[in-house]
Amino acid sequence: MTETTTPIVEKTQTSTAARIGWAVLIVATLYVCYFSHLGAIGFVGPDEPRYAWIARDMAESGDWVTPRLYGKPWFEKPPLFYWGAALSFRLFGVSEAAARLPSAVSALLATLALAWLAFRLYGAETARWLLLLLPTTVGMIGFSHAAATDMPFSGMLTIAMVCAAVVLGLTRDENTPILPRTRWLALLLFGFFLGLAVLAKGPAAIILSGGAVFFWALFTKRWRDAFRLFHPVALASFCLTALPWYILCARRNPGFFRIFIIEHNFKRYLTPEFQHIQPFWFYIPLLIIALLPWTVATVSTLALWIKLARRPEPTAGLDVTQLLFLFFALFTLVFFSLSKSKLPGYILPSIPALMLLTSKLLARDITNSKYVKTLGLAAISLTGSFFLAVASVEVMRWRVTTQPKPFALMGLILAIVGSTSTVVCAARGKKGGTLLSGAAVVVAFLGCANPSFFHWLDSVVSPRPIARIVNSNQKVSNSVLCYRLRRGWEYGANFYLRRQLKEWDGNFSQSVLALASPDGTRDLRERKIPYTVLDSRCPDAMLVEIGKDEAATGQQGALSSSLIPAEIERSLARSLPRSGQAQ
């Protein structure tokens, strides 16, 4: 009796331990990839500070209908992100982490929804790999840490497509529904999340989901199933979610539909008016980067689908659920490739869809005993370690005196350890270990990130450090100007200084303080206008004093006590030894 029961008990214990181990690993991966270091660096680019300004204005003014930038209505994007960030500001205070929290939450919800669908359709193995691989892609990590509308749009649209799969009746064996008594709930949720996607970025959500379902129905001949999405419950849920804000905003702002629909949707797509001009193939290399370190696996998945599509009977043996998400990813890619205005975040919805297909393929290959499959998985897992090693070596070659080198050394060590583990697991035929090694490199790299590295990076890419110095004295904060700042740095300085900076008018009859770009200081030198660099820790937004009284034009160090009070002078003086030379 003992001999027959002991192996069963041991097997149960092992299975329980494995489940606990997977759960801990997945929770750690989701937290590290989506929520860690949200506020490590200041706002970057022109979008983050603008959107954060609008959200802060909503939180402070209580006007949740009309987005306002610098006191004027701003209709470039709908309000979903602004609402989330404003609520986050009220709960946690105004900070970069609070502004980026809606993107992180959206990424988490989309990942969990997609994993739930994978679990119901393909089992726990595919769901586990999806929960591990999707969060570790470059695209999901980057956009979950951005105070922008891209991740809320992608997240809500992905959840809507999961609900659409339930409504369409896609099942495990084509006979048993996923949720036997909840078709009405699926219809309600489909309309709700599609409405949220429209509130996140506009009518593009309807086009992307509708295009994917149309081509899916065209290919599978399941038009009757496709028309289920037009059920009155789904339509009512969508209208009640999306339309109230559009109607209310249009009533309060007569020019809303012209500005938002015509200029920021049709003109943005059909004309190059907004200057985001890129070649047709722009999104191909971008998608390759966004899918790292699992690009090789995704390419293998797409190659398999091309092989299946070339069969004499294309629909034979095809998984209709995977086909829906394949069309969703491809239609998104093609639709925005045809646009005259291209930005990286436009194709973000493709990433979760492609990773669902990839996870299914990898889960299948792990159960395949062929050695060549193990080698293929090893090559896939080594991709992340390879790029991390190359990037770390390049950083270590930089001639800098600040903090990135120790962090790069840590990255190089992680890449070497991860590569060694991957090769050993591949040699021993441990296919799960090969993938885990690749994912562990990404998670460990993010989780062990050195704060000093972010401090250095913050001074390179964000105006937050220089704004803190300026804000240390109200008099200086209210009088500082800007001179030829790039859009991103200007909007960032505006946010941190809580006002729209005025451009220096070129009058140097009296000394003024200004945040100047390298182009600005170059212009000052060419025009022989005397200036002194007071702080250059932010190379694209240096604090300079422009005026006649300085003897050494373009030199750094001498502080004008008439403009700089003692407390800010001491702060600047402490920063000068770490600053570089005048540009």
Chain segment 377-407, per-residue pLDDT in tens: 545 544 555 555 555 444 544 544 444 555 5
Question: Mean pLDDT: which of 150-164, 182-196, 214-228, 263-277 is highest?
Answer: 150-164
**What percent of the chain is modeled with pLDDT above 70?**
69
What does residue 531 show for φ and ψ, rounded to 5 degrees? Answer: -155, 160
**Who has greater pLDDT, 418 or 188?**
188
For the segment 470-481, what is each residue's pLDDT rounded down to a tens digit? 887 766 767 888
Question: Mean pLDDT: which of 10-19, 68-77, 567-576 is highest?
Answer: 68-77
The answer, yes or no, to whether residue 147 has pLDDT greater than 80, is yes
The mean pLDDT value for 420-426 works out to: 59
Q: How does residue 482 score in pLDDT terms, banded at 50, 70 and 90?
A: confident
pLDDT of res. 57: 93
Consecutive H or E run containing 284: helix 283-290
Dig out the tokens for 234 from the structure: 């789904």
pLDDT of res. 348: 92
Query: Which of the 8 DSSP states describes residue 39?
Result: T
For the segment 24-71, what is each residue's pLDDT rounded down to a tens digit? 888 888 988 899 888 888 898 888 999 999 999 999 998 999 999 988
CA separation for the pair 99, 82 (Å, rounded): 9
For the segment 324-350, what is each residue's pLDDT rounded down to a tens digit? 999 999 999 999 888 877 888 889 999
pLDDT of res. 530: 85
What does residue 114 show for φ and ψ, rounded to 5 degrees? Answer: -65, -35
Question: Mean pLDDT: which of 39-53, 495-509, 545-559 is highest?
Answer: 39-53
What pTM was estimated for this model as a whole?
A: 0.82
CA separation for the pair 56, 499 (Å, rounded): 13
**Who has greater pLDDT, 85 or 133?**
85
For the segment 264-290, what is each residue's pLDDT rounded down to a tens digit? 776 776 666 666 667 778 889 889 888
Average pLDDT, the chain: 77
For the segment 238-247, what is each residue's pLDDT rounded down to a tens digit? 999 999 999 9
pLDDT of res. 90: 93
The answer, yes or no, to whether residue 201 has pLDDT greater than 80, is yes
Q: How does residue 425 score in pLDDT terms, banded at 50, 70 and 90?
A: low
Q: Are the beta carbons of 140 and 351 closer than 8 angstroms?
A: yes
Q: How does residue 563 score in pLDDT terms, banded at 50, 70 and 90?
A: very low
Cβ atoms within 10 Å of 394's Cβ, excluding its own: 10
CA separation for the pair 571, 43 (Å, rounded): 22
